[in-house]
């Protein structure tokens, strides 16, 4: 987690458009799972960081810190 915290997440990291399109395609599948979505999201470091930051924000209820993309998606 310490290495992830060192990544600047101020919006300067670009997200590949291919990942976003793949996520949209995945969400259209009836058999898609949160695990599938997390595996795909992890291929984009900027997106993974944003998901973790949002899941750990006060707006999401705080509580126990989330350390994985899968946990962030489930929250």
* Farthest-apart Cα atoms in the chain, separation: 37
pLDDT digits 0-9 by tens, 19-51 = 889 999 999 999 999 999 999 999 999 899 999
Task: Report the chain's mean pLDDT, rounded to a whole number.
Answer: 84
Phi, psi of 67, deg, nearest 5 = -115, -10
For position 59, what pLDDT does the model report?
73
CA-wise closest residue to 4 among 39, 41, 53, 40: 53
Rounded to two decimals, the pTM is 0.71
Whether 11 shows a pLDDT value over 70: the answer reads no
The whole-number pLDDT of residue 29 equals 95
- pLDDT of 33 reads 97
């Amino acid at each position: 987690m310490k290495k992830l915290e060192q990544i600047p997440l101020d919006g300067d990291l670009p997200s590949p458009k291919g990942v976003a399109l793949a996520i949209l395609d995945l969400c259209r599948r009836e058999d898609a799972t949160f695990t599938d979505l997390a595996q795909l999201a992890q291929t984009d470091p900027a997106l993974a960081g944003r998901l973790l930051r949002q899941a750990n924000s006060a707006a999401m209820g705080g509580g126990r810190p989330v350390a994985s993309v899968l946990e962030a998606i489930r929250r």
